[in-house]
Amino acid sequence: MHPESSNSAENRLHRFARLLIVPAILLIGLATVSSNVSDPDLWGHVQYGREVLRDGTLPRTATWTYAAEGAPWVNHENIAELMLAWTVDTFGPSGLPLMKLVIAITIFGLMIFSARRSGAGWLPIGAMVMIVAANLQFHWHFRPQILTYLSLAMLLSLWQYVFGEFDSKNPRSVITATSRLRWLWLLVPLMCFWANSHGGFAAGVCIMLAYHGLICLQLIHRRGFRHRRFLLHLSIVTVAAVLATLMNPYGVELWRFMLNALTLPRPEIADWGPPALIGMEATRLWCLLAVGVIALSVDQRRDIARLVILALLLWQSLSHCRHLSIFAIVCGFWIPRALQQVGNNLQQSFQKLQPQTATRSTGRFRLAAMLLLISLSLVKVLPTLQEVPVERSEYPVSAMQYLHDHQLHGRTLVTFNWAQYAIGCFAADDGPLRESRVAVDGRFETCYPREITDICFDFWLGTDDPGDRYRSPYAPPFSPSLALEFEMPDLVLLARDQRPSVRIMQQHQDIWALLYQDSLAQIWGRRSEYDVPGLKNYLAPSQRRISDEPQVGTVSWPAYPSGNPSADRITLSPAAITDIISR
């Protein structure tokens, strides 16, 4: 073959391989983060959003509860729930993984774009996307918090454009940043959206105040007050962005609720505990820390503001594992440029060992590598887009079917993690079950007084040990059996692995009768209603099902009992949704 023809073909292969770099990195991130697990709160989020779409107004008091009826409900996840409900009702359950896929593509796409603007190469970008995705995976569920991750990515990409080259020691970079400050006015709609989507907006506001404040302090320290226009503009935008969070259905009350909620200990909730530092799950965190420390140690441009923010986020991540995702995303935007310097230093150190010219097979190798990465990633991603599986070993699918078949309804004390699944099943029922209510569910402090939650946790956990849980000082004295009398529940649906509550039920068999049991769940009914022949709700022994039948396999979300119609499907335009939020 003629040398010129060979070089031309090689160049075409190189160009084609370069075109595949971004899709390959995106798919690596998607394959790493991809999970298709039914979240315990998903049923509730969809149902609450459906009810807002149906009624056209936001409920101001708790719904679907018998224990806290009439309690104020400050819902900080309205946009997320409207989005989840609209997605399910428009595209069906299969729309949920597609929605999550689009959000993930947006986050990683902004990360890649910002890293390229900062001067990072493809290799450090690909490595950081994969590490960030690995740390994000544990919290990448069908939950409103994914809108916090999206909003944070938008905030960081905006900062990269405005402050990417900012250096308080360089007057020219300050002038450049000053000319771009007008773009920060996008923070106003962003913060408004964030505050109506998820409570993580509070973390976003804190990060924004710290970053903007540190930038101003650096500039004042280096240049005095010579750049008054910059300082004034940034200060006004910051204040406007904070005020934008008040554009929500609750106004200042939302911030009051957030401050109260953030000051309460939550030892019962695993997300609020520290992350594990030993074991396979900890490997992803240690990889992130190792890469970050190595990259920042060789960074020639030490940005004090970013270092301080990263240190604060690391402290919060080691205190509460739910903040690890925020720390990882920030690293994904701020570390690649420094990581590129590590690569450059290594290349200079070993340049004598590297060939001086590319071989003819380089283009083919790169193209083959890109195609292999894309193929492997698609094999991992595509199956997660088909359906959302519900594990029978984790959710009481058979028990809910039993409730439906026998139309057992009323005030139902349900294991905490199953309560919103129960709400979804009740709402989808076309019979008496639609009138059933639970005690408390995953909405927690948003609509349940802590004293009522404590009564239920006394029953479920069977302990008042401060190391395991927090009890309100206004709660009644510790009593594991009080939940069985508080507001007089008719039924109890509990997990058999919650031994304290199972033991309590066995101690009260003179009042409660076991109606159903499998390997996962038990259903108990009040004897005065279900165990007296002649009464309307009497359930004969022949109708009761007591067994250890294994609960194996999966069913597709929403896993409603067979024979139930799906919940009302309501479709509204985006303009109508905006009108509901603004009321």
Predicted confidence at residue 573, as pLDDT, reads 44
- Neighbouring C-beta atoms of residue 217, cutoff 10 Å: 13
User: Is there a single domain that holds both residue 62 and residue 174?
Assistant: no
Looking at the chain, the whole-number percentage of residues with pLDDT higher than 90 is: 59
Q: In this structure, is residue 79 part of a structural domain?
A: no
User: Is there a single domain that holds both residue 112 and residue 69?
Assistant: no
Where are the alpha helices (H) located in 382-431, listed in sequence order?
Answer: 397-405, 419-428
Q: In this structure, is residue 574 part of a structural domain?
A: yes
First CA to last CA distance, the chain: 73
Q: In this structure, is residue 276 part of a structural domain?
A: yes
Q: In this structure, is residue 555 part of a structural domain?
A: yes
Predicted confidence at residue 35, as pLDDT, reads 80
Tell me the C-alpha distance between 46 and 142, whole Å.
10
Tell me the C-alpha distance between 168 and 177, whole Å.
10
**DSSP assignments along 277-293, one per residue:** -SSHHHHHHHHHHHHHH
Q: Is the Cβ–Cβ distance between 332 and 325 less than 8 Å? A: no
Q: Which strand (E) or helix (H) includes residue 12?
A: helix 3-19
Please write the tens of the pLDDT for every residue from 428-464.
998 899 999 999 999 988 999 999 999 999 999 988 7
User: Is there a single domain that holds both residue 164 and residue 312?
Assistant: yes
Q: In this structure, is residue 272 part of a structural domain?
A: yes
Q: In this structure, is residue 306 part of a structural domain?
A: yes
User: Is there a single domain that holds both residue 62 and residue 184?
Assistant: no
User: Is there a single domain that holds both residue 55 and residue 143?
Assistant: no
C-alpha pair distances (Å), 7 with each of 2, 11, 357, 549: 9, 6, 13, 68
Tell me the C-alpha distance between 271 and 319, whole Å.
10
Domain that holds residue 200: 92-338
Using DSSP's 3-state secondary structure scheme, residue 429 falls into: coil
User: Is there a single domain that holds both residue 316 and residue 401?
Assistant: no
Q: What are the backbone angles phi and psi of residue 521, rounded to the nearest 5°?
A: -130, 160
User: Is there a single domain that holds both residue 265 and residue 207?
Assistant: yes
Q: Would you say residue 521 has pLDDT above 70?
A: yes
Q: How many domains does the chain have?
A: 3
Predicted confidence at residue 5, as pLDDT, reads 56
* pTM of the model as a whole: 0.89
Q: Would you say residue 220 has pLDDT above 60?
A: yes
Using DSSP's 3-state secondary structure scheme, residue 564 falls into: coil
Q: In this structure, is residue 518 part of a structural domain?
A: yes
User: Is there a single domain that holds both residue 424 and residue 498?
Assistant: yes
User: Is there a single domain that holds both residue 24 and residue 138?
Assistant: no
Q: Which of 359, 385, 411 is the last residue of a domain?
A: 385
Q: Which strand (E) or helix (H) includes residue 162?
A: helix 145-163
The residues, ordered by sequence, that sit 6+ positions from 340 with a Cβ below 8 Å of its Cβ are: 119, 120, 121, 124
User: Is there a single domain that holds both residue 266 and residue 371?
Assistant: no
User: Is there a single domain that holds both residue 453 and residue 505?
Assistant: yes
Q: In this structure, is residue 128 part of a structural domain?
A: yes
User: Is there a single domain that holds both residue 381 and residue 405?
Assistant: no
Please write the tens of the pLDDT for every residue from 64-122.
999 999 999 999 999 999 999 999 999 999 899 999 999 999 999 999 999 998 888 88
